[in-house]
A = this chain, B = another copy of it.
Amino acid sequence: MRNPQLNAHGELIHLLSIEGLPQPVLTHILDTASSFVSVSDRDVKKVPLLRGKSVFNLFFENSTRTRTTFEIAAKRLSADVINLDIARSSTAKGESLLDTLANLSAMHADMFVVRHSESGAPYLIAQHTAPHVHVVNAGDGRHAHPTQGLLDMYTIRHYKGDFTRLSVAIVGDIVHSRVARSDIHALTTLGVPDIRAVGPRTLVPGDLAGMGVRVCHTLEEGLRDVDVVITLRLQNERMSGALLPSAGEYYKHWGLTRERLALARPDAIVMHPGPINRGVEIASDVADGTTSVILPQVTFGIAVRMAVMSILAGNEA
């Protein structure tokens, strides 16, 4: 079966997951994003690339922050953006999801930005939608968050250049994290030789090694001489049952403090997908420190989303 994200020419028509995307596609997105970083610096932060296009934000799972980044990205491309309050919409009147989407397609929608608590929902949508509609996964269950993965790669490339000589540690609640999953696929595809999944056994099970990462159950092993530390948000709201004693307990053992960060290379950058829990997965002085690139991640995130949307809009199914 053909990759549902690519057309017959191998061009991106949906962004559903980083898994399965060839390296040139990822690199093309990052290169395109470079040009949009300068757009956001200009006095008039607007380009007409999506003028007259209709972008629908379909957030079945609420996330004001991520929705906002897509809304800004689309508006800076001059698209018309429609935020659907999906919880109050026709699905509430008993209409099926696919009927709702067929209706939006019939309104000549050009793009669906989808967040959903069920893994795979954006795939289902891409599969059933009309050919003129492009689907962007803005996070599905524990599965994938590809634009976050891409903006993380943009950030790493911006600060560290060549991927093929890097050591990258991903620290924390990896098992519940779609960000970690997308990062691991992206880092692998881009040729990073040393990827470490770091955390307690409950959050970093040994079978993760199957994804091509080194599983580390101590910070000493996990952070030693890495170039990049990606700290994950402790997903309290996603955990079922008591996998962890408490936030305080977690910080004591796994929080990224200045002392622990000293294990990494002196020029190691610190990343986090946000929103951060200060004093839980990361110490405040590390989050605000000179090697933290957490806010640049946000800035690059707009450019990466502009890149994804403009590339998709240019390719025909």
Q: Which residues of A contact B (CB under 8 A)?
A: 40-46, 51-54, 62, 64-65, 68-69, 71-72, 75-76, 80, 82, 84-86, 88-90, 93-96, 99-100, 102-108, 237, 274-278, 295-296, 298-299, 301-302
A298, B64: Cβ atoms under 8 Å?
A: no
B52, A64: Cβ atoms under 8 Å?
A: no
**A75: nearest residue on chain B (CB-CB)?**
B80
B68, A276: Cβ atoms under 8 Å?
A: no
Roughly how many angstroms separate A277 CA and B94 CA in the complex, as a whole number? 7
**A86: nearest residue on chain B (CB-CB)?**
B64
| Given A71-B82, A105-B295, A106-B299, 8 additional A-B pairs, CB 8 A | A54-B72, A64-B88, A65-B89, A72-B82, A95-B275, A95-B276, A99-B276, A99-B278
> Measured between C-beta atoms, what is the minimum distance from A74 to chain B in Å?
10
Roughly how many angstroms separate A68 CA and B128 CA in the complex, as a whole number? 21
B298, A103: Cβ atoms under 8 Å?
A: yes
Known: A45-B53, A64-B88. A107 touches B72 (CB 8 A): yes
B278, A96: Cβ atoms under 8 Å?
A: yes
**A93: nearest residue on chain B (CB-CB)?**
B275
B90, A76: Cβ atoms under 8 Å?
A: no
B237, A93: Cβ atoms under 8 Å?
A: yes
B64, A84: Cβ atoms under 8 Å?
A: yes
Count of chain copies? 3
> Measured between C-beta atoms, what is the minimum distance from A111 to chain B in Å?
13
Pick the residue among B41, B89, B302 that contacts A64 (CB under 8 A): B89
**Can you list 14 pairs linking A and B with CB atoms under 8 Å apart?**
A41-B108, A44-B51, A45-B53, A65-B90, A69-B107, A72-B107, A75-B82, A93-B275, A95-B276, A99-B276, A99-B278, A103-B298, A107-B301, A108-B299
B88, A80: Cβ atoms under 8 Å?
A: no
> Measured between C-beta atoms, what is the minimum distance from A239 to chain B in Å?
14
Contacts of A42 in B (CB 8 A): 52
Contacts of A51 in B (CB 8 A): 44, 46
A88, B107: Cβ atoms under 8 Å?
A: no
**A300: nearest residue on chain B (CB-CB)?**
B106
Contacts of A237 in B (CB 8 A): 93
Roughly how many angstroms separate A72 CA and B43 CA in the complex, as a whole number? 21
Contacts of A71 in B (CB 8 A): 82
B44, A107: Cβ atoms under 8 Å?
A: no
> Measured between C-beta atoms, what is the minimum distance from A47 to chain B in Å?
9
B46, A107: Cβ atoms under 8 Å?
A: no
**A39: nearest residue on chain B (CB-CB)?**
B52
Pick the residue among B69, B82, B102, B298 that contacts A68 (CB under 8 A): B82
> Measured between C-beta atoms, what is the minimum distance from A77 to chain B in Å?
11
Q: Which residue of A69, A75, A107, A299 has the most chain B CB atoms within 10 A of its CB atom?
A: A107
Known: A45-B52, A46-B51, A103-B298. A76 touches B80 (CB 8 A): yes
Contacts of A40 in B (CB 8 A): 108
Roughly how many angstroms separate A308 CA and B105 CA in the complex, as a whole number? 22
**A47: nearest residue on chain B (CB-CB)?**
B52
